[in-house]
Structure 1
Amino acid sequence: MSLFGHTRTIVSARHALIAPDGHVPSSFPGWKNATAYVLISPAMGADLSQIRVTFDVASGKAVFPSDEHEHVIYVEAGECEIELADESISLTDGGYIFIPWHTSFNITGNDETRVTLFRKIFEFQDGIEPPPLVFGTASGIPGEPFLGNPRALLQTLLPIDPRYDMAVNIFTYQPGATLPFVETHIMEHGLLMLSGQGVYRLEESYYPVTAGDVIWMAPYCPQWFVAMGDEPASYLYYKDVHRLP
């Protein structure tokens, strides 16, 4: 319960921190016993949507029709089924899947399932085939030292391939580890804190962040992170790649 109307949530023109205390549920046509929390969307000026989906009972279903959007789904907790036209793929905690544009699918789960979904319009490129579906588990992706730092490990979930116009990665920092410099770049980010805590710099502001927080960063938003506390901190994040501006 909010005390005196206080929240850590902040929404500005070029960045946002969405804390769990302000989440408001939505439901969409065809959904059954499934709830969406639209945490990032074009309504705030973003080019992507980041949606958390939960399910009320064992038979919950979230429906996504075929259109120009592509999707990455990451299982935060529990398990789910991704129902495609000709197959069904099971994902458990830490599982992920990339679903190409013009592909309809359903997500089914139970009351222990929680997923994060990144959704964007696919940027078709002449001479390059659209990317294929791919899935796996984060535990099967080795963490690589970021710029040689073994205390900051980067897991790259999607193939590094020009067919893909988006990347989804997991960054894990040991306590005290940081991004090595303040990054300022053309890529937009949608981010979910998976575990731990720290401080995130967004433009000229510094925000305490913890597991469950969501961050949006517009292109060229200066950003930096330091992990704090006794446990490692990790976050899942999206960025747009492989397309000329």
Structure 2
Amino acid sequence: MHTRTVLADRHALIAPDGHVPSAFPGWENATGFVILSPAMGADLSQILITFESNEGSATFPADEHEHALYIETGSATIDIEDGESIALATTGFIFIPPYTAFTLHGDESTRVTLFRKVYEPDPNLGLPPLIHGLASDVPDEPFLGHERARLQTLLPIDPRYDLAINIFTYQPGATLPFVETHIMEHGLLMLSGQGIYRLENAYYPVEAGDAIWMAPYCPQWFAAIGDTPASYLYYKNVHRLP
């Protein structure tokens, strides 16, 4: 059988046709699809979470992991261990600091992408605060002056955060202005549209639902194709000396 999924030493394209569900302790009527993880060589995990009923829940313990969640479809409620309860609709996002337990609730319409990694502390900085909002309320800006390639920065530019979560949207025919090669690792989810992604020396057709892993220094470039804009959500590690 055919699949567009590719796993290389320093990059991966994971197409939805190969998703395999996982069950985890403390989860009820919820399914996790571990799309990216340290098992493939990454320093982060990217997990798709869906729910089988209106009573679905996924619990995460308080440990050294930090989490950033994005609501792809439907709605979700996040119960934080301090008693705070946060409701998010489609395009909602939330960053939950390390050492914070929480439970994610959803229903059959809910799809959530979660980024999870071990927090890298800085002895001169405190922990980053919890923050949430709607991506649809975040203004976009031209990327390096390119009006047809626009960037939304979801988390504050604050050195307490050792990760960034952004959304890139390209008009048809727009591209990254150059082939990027940098220390930052990426986990990525195609939200809409289609395009061509260069990873190292290979070029891959990509579309909504695809996930991509890029190791540090993986040469990368994107071009949007088709009749509609292409958009992707991505993670990168920031604000820490190598």
Query: Do the two structures share a fold, i.e. TM-score over 0.5?
Result: yes
**In 2, distance between residues paired with 1:185 and 1:90?**
36
**In 2, distance between residues paired with 1:95 and 1:197?**
22
Matched, 1:65 2:65: no
Matched, 1:40 2:28: no
Matched, 1:110 2:107: yes
* Aligned equivalent of 1:181, options 174, 178, 182: 178
- Which consecutive segments of 4 or more residues in structure 1 shift more than 2 A? none
Matched, 1:7 2:3: yes
Name 2:78's counterpart in structure 1.
Answer: 82
Match of 2:27, SS?
Answer: coil
Q: Once the 2 structures are TM-superposed, how far is the Cα of residue 23 of structure 1 from its aligned partner?
A: 0.2
Name 2:240's counterpart in structure 1.
Answer: 243
**In 1, distance between residues paired with 2:16 and 2:45?**
17
CA deviations 1:134-168 (Å, max 9, x no partner) are 00000110000000111001000000000000000
**In 1, distance between residues paired with 2:2 and 2:85?**
43
Equivalent position amino acid for 2:235 in 1: Y
**In 2, distance between residues paired with 1:148 and 1:206?**
25
Matched, 1:197 2:178: no
**In 1, distance between residues paired with 2:58 and 2:86?**
15
Q: Once the 2 structures are TM-superposed, how far is the Cα of residue 6 of structure 1 from its aligned partner?
A: 1.1
Name 2:14's counterpart in structure 1.
Answer: 18
Match of 1:8, SS?
Answer: coil
Name 2:123's counterpart in structure 1.
Answer: 126
* Aligned equivalent of 2:213, options 205, 213, 216: 216
**In 2, distance between residues paired with 1:149 and 1:132?**
32
Structure 1: which 5+ residue stretches go unaligned? none
CA deviations 1:113-140 (Å, max 9, x no partner) are 0000000000000111110000000011
Match of 1:119, SS?
Answer: strand
TM-score normalised over the length of structure 1: 0.98
How many aligned residue pairs are there? 241
CA deviations 1:165-187 (Å, max 9, x no partner) are 00000000000000000000000
Equivalent position amino acid for 1:29 in 2: P
Equivalent position amino acid for 1:36 in 2: G
Name 1:157's counterpart in structure 2.
Answer: 154
Q: Percent identity, please.
A: 69
RMSD: 0.4
**In 1, distance between residues paired with 2:124 and 2:12?**
36
**In 1, distance between residues paired with 2:124 and 2:146?**
37
**In 1, distance between residues paired with 2:215 and 2:240?**
17
**In 1, distance between residues paired with 2:209 and 2:33?**
12
Matched, 1:206 2:199: no
CA deviations 1:68-99 (Å, max 9, x no partner) are 00000000000000011211000010000000
Name 1:91's counterpart in structure 2.
Answer: 88
Structure 2: which 5+ residue stretches go unaligned? none
